Amino acid sequence: MEHLEDFFKDKSEFLLRKLIGSSFDGVTITNSRGQTIWYNQSFLQMSGLLPSQLDNYTAVELIENGWMKDSASIEAISKGVTTTKSVKYSTGIEALVSATPIFDDEGKLIFTFQNVRDITELNKLKHQLDETYALSESFRQTLQEVQRTKENGSQIVFQSELMEKIIVLAHKFSKVNTPILILGESGTGKDVLANYIHFIDSRTNKGPFVKINCGAIPEQLLESELFGYEAGAFSGANRSGKAGLFEVANGGTIFLDEIGEMPFALQVKLLGVLQDMKIQRVGGTKQIPIDVRVIAATNADLEKMIKEKQFRQDLYFRLNVLSITIPPLRERPEDIIVLIEHFLKMFNEKHHINKSFSPNIIKLFLSYGWPGNIRELKNLVERLMIISDGNVVNDTIIPANMRNKINKSNDNLIEGSTDETPDPQLKNLMDEYEKKILSYYLSKYRPMKSCADVLGIDLTTLARKKKRYGL
């Protein structure tokens, strides 16, 4: 190997060589012919190349022999400019290689200096970050889909992990045509979820979304509404007959709300439709094939109804292959604030007003059990916005029955705490409420001074609480 003893003439140059030699980065120097004339130990470890290979072969020959995939020095020599490349060595290490041409006083190229930095771990981190970004972007797009207004104006607005799991299930279920059973208390949004599943259906040409409340139609009319009837099927029938809702929903979705209210005798016919995907009109003999997604929903305890002979077990098993239970609002208080914000925006636009809620009223809302769930919350928000005088709706106009229930609930919570059980359950609960309230107002009002003014506290207190809750 050609040495650089003439290049390193004094002690300072010798020290420089030692420092470069011990560098964590790989360092190489090639001559104008592309032959390596100096390298450090770090480069040998990174590249996996042997001294015998570097000493006897040029960069071009190293590539031709398959010992190295690429070299920045070749381009730096040919073009006379600094060149940076990402090179992967046989060791599996990926390095960022920068080759800088060095010229003498007459402008003639004499060396190229290469700095080789291991970026393997950096690339792994970048890959992980890319994956994380892709997941977050995917989730962001999912949330946009979830919160995008549909054709009928329905939306799913949420922040809780419980509802996130529901949405994930909905996406999975939408890819197949198996019946879906949605369970949950009244007012939790079962119809909204059914509508959402219909709109994310993977079928390209989706038919209509048809909803029927099985408990709202008289028993004697429900069969003809669902399955239609032929001309002259009964007295007062349309002379040309009528298509039922299953036919109307062909290619789309039929939503059977309050399925627990369906007459026992009619359940047999529904079971046959689910099994064969064919319907027969009242008074008719012809089997009509249909392509319909069936979504049923109820707030009833179907298993109890089966024991009481009010609901068919075989129909329950057919409907309950894919089921989703929407938790009540009291079990997902994180959703209360985002729903309040959603309804505030909705009713401000609807009634051409500009109102907001005070922290006190939000605190009360978070303390309330919401037996009517989202429907109750929505109706109360609209009512309070309409009857309030100022632009900030305060807790003074909260209905007395609601306030009594909140007070009773808090009293029970306090009474349940004894000296023997000093666990600060109430304090933890109120801290959680305070955190949610602060999070909401900090995201809504900027700068922090404005937020502090709206909350009626000084800026120092707000900053302290913000730090305490990690907001």
Q: Please report, as a single letter, which amino acid is at residue 345.
A: K
* Mean pLDDT rounded to a whole number for the chain: 81
The predicted structure's pLDDT at residue 272: 92
Q: Are 183 and 326 in contact (CB under 8 A)?
A: yes
- Inter-CA distances, 246 with 199, 209, 321, 367, Å: 18, 11, 20, 43
pLDDT in tens, 169-199: 999 999 888 999 999 999 999 999 999 999 8
For 323, the 3-state DSSP assignment is strand
8 A C-beta contact, residue 191 and residue 297: yes
CATH of domain 172-327: 3.40.50.300
pLDDT for position 301: 94
In sequence order, what DSSP letters do the residues of 31-62 get, joined into one string?
A: ETTSBEEEE-HHHHHHH---HHHHHH-BHHHH
pLDDT of amino acid 234: 56
The model carries a pTM of 0.59
What's the pLDDT score for residue 376?
95
In this prediction, residue 125 carries a pLDDT of 61
Q: What is the pLDDT of residues 197-240, one digit of tens each?
A: 998 887 656 789 999 999 888 887 888 889 888 875 555 555 66
pLDDT tens, position by position, 322-359: 999 999 999 988 899 889 989 999 999 999 999 988 88
Length of the chain counted residue by residue? 471
3-state secondary structure at position 265: helix
Sign of the dihedral through C-alpha 377, 383, 385, 387: negative
d(CA 49, CA 53): 7
**Lowest model confidence (mean pLDDT) among 136-140, 149-153, 286-290:** 149-153
Q: Which residue has the higher pLDDT, 394 or 425?
A: 394
Q: Is the model's pLDDT at 19 over the cut of 90?
A: no
184: tokens are 């949950």
What percent of the chain lies above the pLDDT cut of 70?
Answer: 80
Q: Per-domain residue ranges for the chain?
A: 11-118, 172-327, 330-468
Question: Is the separation of the CB atoms in 212 and 261 below 8 Å?
Answer: no
- Superfamily holding 11-118: PAS domain (3.30.450.20)
Using CA atoms of 132, 135, 139, 140 in order, give the dihedral in degrees to the nearest 10. Answer: 60
- pLDDT at residue 419, rounded to an integer: 44
pLDDT value of position 139: 42
Give yes or no for residue 143 having a pLDDT over 90: no
Lowest mean pLDDT among 99-113, 134-148, 374-388: 134-148
Question: Which residues are paired to 278 by β-bridges?
Answer: 289
- Residue 132: the pLDDT is 46
Low-confidence winner among 58-72, 76-90, 109-123, 158-172 (lowest mean pLDDT): 109-123
Look at domain 330-468 and name its CATH class: mainly alpha
Task: Reply yes or no on whether the pLDDT at 434 is more than 60.
Answer: yes
pLDDT at 382: 95
Nearest partner of 343 among 391, 395, 378, judged by Cα? 378
